[in-house]
Structure 1
């Protein structure tokens, strides 16, 4: 008897741009153990393993089934896998081993909930016709709710990326009629370069002032709420990404099956690296000191043990830590907006951190296969983001949410300042000082026109002159040579070289641009700083006079912050409700002028 089943996820085969990364989807090799050679396809992979324990922990499921539509005869083996924490590997158990010669089959999987992951292997003879038409992980239980998903993608002059994602999204819904009234895409065009008049069946393009990612995402949230179209969940998604539409499907299905106690959970997509597609950059993060640390980060997901790690259920994490999910792919209930308002007007950086901490205690669900491939951050983050917006917004968020920040902010800011000073990055010090000045200005500063402020800040950015580098130079700069102990002692005794005799200084050295070691600048007059992404270098020079002036100005600002810290904390906390209201955002984005 054919049982009525409800799909939880589709087994995905690699699209053309993933052909060099088939291991994310399946493993293929020849079976040499039989007299007649055959092909073996293993689906214990990032995209296609089913993280059973985690699904059952968060979702109200029935029995799990594998539904197969395959042309040709084959041997099917279903495996259950658990983590072996003692040796960092996995323990596999055969759950089912059967021969199938029908095109359509549905197979019940016994005791699926007992395994971190379940997966399957297909054995088939090389000489026989064979084609995978579709395979799905299913359950025999109907979903507890039916959600409607508003996807919000904010873009700024990245037409190639966003138009590609729109095209894939439209094709996905064309091929999946049942989902057409369940998912809609709002593209917020901060650069106002897209054709807003072009009509799509399932996508709206909305021109917006350049209020940064925070402003673009907020505009999308507002449009979803104001549409009165019955959206129950918002999915925020970056523009400079590659995403498989299967992630949308799984996000919707997970939200439909969530247990009552987890109906308000975040569903978080992992960020994978665009260049090395098998490398997981981050999935979930928690507060650690004066920044955040990935719960799962720096992982090769071609390794089965790493796929199982991300499917670990960590109940205590969300009650004991301040956790957030990056807005490169982050889904949450619309009710969050009604209950606690819209995001803060941060333009960029820390908007997602604050949003997660505002909803502290809610669970963040990360599952293998729900992800985006993102452009790498390294070497590409502009100084304005890294020095102004980052430090301004970190100070505000930490002062509101971290009780002990009054005792740690001084070290945080001092470490940043002296890193810039000791690496001769004098241009960025000006941006850091502007961030501190704006912090001291209080929450009224956040009400400024974001486009005008951003243009003013851009005028402060002093771009150094870059020169073409030879390969041998770049390779040499990549090698770290620690300074001798005597040199460190001299550097310290002379107050960072300020009072060091000229004859003890070296003429020239090399360093990498992305957070270079301070040691490479120690008592060196001129340093060539190399950018590995562009293959170019700029020159930084020690300037004793500027160093003295900067130290004096930094100490003056720190003195002001110390005197006003308690008042600033109160002011930012008090202003939070106004700055996250619909009324504020309508004026801030000048929507009443449209």
Structure 2
């Protein structure tokens, strides 16, 4: 089945005694069949069926192969990420257990960190309901690599209840609390609760589910809520509070877990994810085998294109204080086009600074030691928590094969919509708390460059929100808790003052452009040479000296989101621009007076940040304990 050349020292077939069950003690991850309704693209996350008929799926744990089928489990959810278990846990071996009915050949392969594939062992199995176990060494995986197995059916074969096991009990107990922060997504939230409640493995590990409901469309009013509430019983903690953002919702979930449950681990989940339930079990079990308490995160698959691994892990550039993909992390890999076997870049172990809170497991002792999240509303709270944990000696591991489906960033405008305020303010707060540099010249230079680029793109509202963020950062940490309940309304009101901050979704209100698409056809090609870039920027500045010809008329052109670049919009007086999700447009109008007012204020405030950063840095660090204390959070919860 495997197309890559195997090692010349192929291990001989195992004897019957070598396959006898009895060594598998703790389930690490189940081998999962796709759901019956999953399209072939999604099935590629579970089965490589290139050389077989479509496997008949009887259940999530049972698959039927026809005679002659060759099926590989070298897939995202079913291969075993041996490199991570080798590096971060106490295990020295792993056991593959399967129950087989029929006659088939099982071959196990392993990969190296560079993607080379080697044959590990193989055997022929025959019988009805026969359980076999194959022991596999974890020693040669320091730099990364996976285990997987292929099955070749000699006749009709049933595979059921397969899984990867440890030969021992975990180092520490495991009682899981699931914390969900939700805002006006009752359908999605209840769907996540149903997934958790329906899983028998999770059910045995589940201590609590804490839902922090911050919206006015209540989870309790969803039609299917009573049924799932009955399934979860007194393990369900539904808490309703005002909208305190993601940080406030997750802080409440953490606080409730620490004060009202005996859970040893808490996993944060976004309310807008689709969940593979075994991901929670995998994260919990991994954490139970680590030598030291470890945060374990799930990776992100794209909700819009479900066979695509959107990101493998995140890190933070401490000098510029920007989050980014971790070094060597694959981005946008489509398993429907390239299987795990064929993707050499997916085999190296990727180390991270933090895990986003779409799915992140936090041990109880870590939360008790380092405190609750910062009161940031949204943005940077997850990164800061991972950085804080790292500074306290607790590692974060983003575990392949543990994942959720989440809306990818390509469908969001969060750098330019109301969230722009939180990006800018919270970046500065986290820099004050975690940057190794005592001065912020690199950060403020980046801020000014970004603001000028937004101004060239006629995104005046984004810059106005940045200016508010700069002022609020300079005001110090003392008002962060007080601002939480009302800050979103302030931000939305400021954004609405500008036409580019007003999204038009009704078809009849979307204005017709003055010119057709041919008007911008030659404008969308970016300047590449340094001289061409400088020339385009100077022309953009000159354009903001001359008056606007028609300040209130129909926009000159209509642009898709991908073409709304600075070198295009800087040549125009107006344009209607599609939002990233394609649901509406904003009308952007050049206004020289606004351009220069915002530009001058950006420069002034960033110079002020550079001058005052050493003192601000000390202020925020002196307030760290107060900003993460349960007592201060309780005062907000009870308000």
TM-score of the two chains, using structure 2 as the length reference? 0.81
Deviation (angstroms), 1:103:
1.3
1:53 partnered with 2:83: yes
1:304 partnered with 2:340: yes
1:525 partnered with 2:573: yes
Deviation (angstroms), 1:549:
2.0
Deviation (angstroms), 1:475:
13
SS at structure 1 position matched to 2:280: helix
Of residues 183-192 and 235-244 in structure 1, the stretch that sits farther from structure 2 once superposed is 183-192
What is aligned with 1:194?
219
1:3 partnered with 2:25: no
Deviation (angstroms), 1:222:
0.6
C-alpha separation in 2, matches of 1:141 and 1:12: 22
What is aligned with 2:479?
445
Q: Give unpaired runs (5+ residues) of structure 1.
A: none
SS at structure 2 position matched to 1:102: strand
C-alpha separation in 1, matches of 2:342 and 2:312: 12
Note the aligned Cα RMSD (angstroms). Answer: 3.1
Contact 1:268 1:365 in 2 (8 A): yes
What is aligned with 2:168?
141
What is aligned with 1:245?
277
Contact 1:57 1:313 in 2 (8 A): no
Contact 2:330 2:345 in 1 (8 A): no
Contact 1:190 1:207 in 2 (8 A): yes
1:13 partnered with 2:33: yes
1:79 partnered with 2:109: yes
What is aligned with 2:289?
257
Q: Give unpaired runs (5+ residues) of structure 2.
A: 1-19, 54-65, 497-501, 550-554
Listed one character per residue, the Cα deviations across residues 47-67 of structure 1 (whole Å, up to 9, x for unaligned) are 001122321222222542221
* Shift in alpha-carbon separation, 1:526–1:110, aligned structure 2, 3 A: closer
Deviation (angstroms), 1:31:
6.3
1:402 partnered with 2:402: no
Figure out how many residues of one structure are paired with residues of the other and give that number.
Answer: 565
Listed one character per residue, the Cα deviations across residues 115-160 of structure 1 (whole Å, up to 9, x for unaligned) are 52211111114xx543332111122222222222211110001112
What is aligned with 2:598?
550
* Shift in alpha-carbon separation, 1:414–1:30, aligned structure 2, 3 A: closer
Deviation (angstroms), 1:98:
1.9
Q: How does 1:335-414 map to 2 (within 5 A)?
A: 335-360=365-390, 361-382=393-414, 383-404=416-437, 405-414=439-448
Deviation (angstroms), 1:25:
0.3
Deviation (angstroms), 1:19:
2.8
What is aligned with 1:204?
237
Match of 2:307 among 278, 291, 299: 278
C-alpha separation in 2, matches of 1:75 and 1:63: 22
Contact 2:201 2:281 in 1 (8 A): no
Q: How does 1:165-204 map to 2 (within 5 A)?
A: 165-172=192-199, 175-176=200-201, 179-192=203-216, 193-195=218-220, 198-199=229-230, 200-201=232-233, 202-204=235-237
Q: How does 1:364-513 map to 2 (within 5 A)?
A: 364-382=396-414, 383-404=416-437, 405-462=439-496, 463-465=502-504, 467=510, 480-482=524-526, 489=535, 491-492=537-538, 495-499=541-545, 508=556, 511-513=559-561
SS at structure 2 position matched to 1:524: coil
Q: How does 1:541-580 map to 2 (within 5 A)?
A: 541-580=589-628
SS at structure 2 position matched to 1:73: strand
C-alpha separation in 1, matches of 2:504 and 2:136: 65
Listed one character per residue, the Cα deviations across residues 265-306 of structure 1 (whole Å, up to 9, x for unaligned) are 211110111111122222322222231111224141523258
What is aligned with 1:583?
631
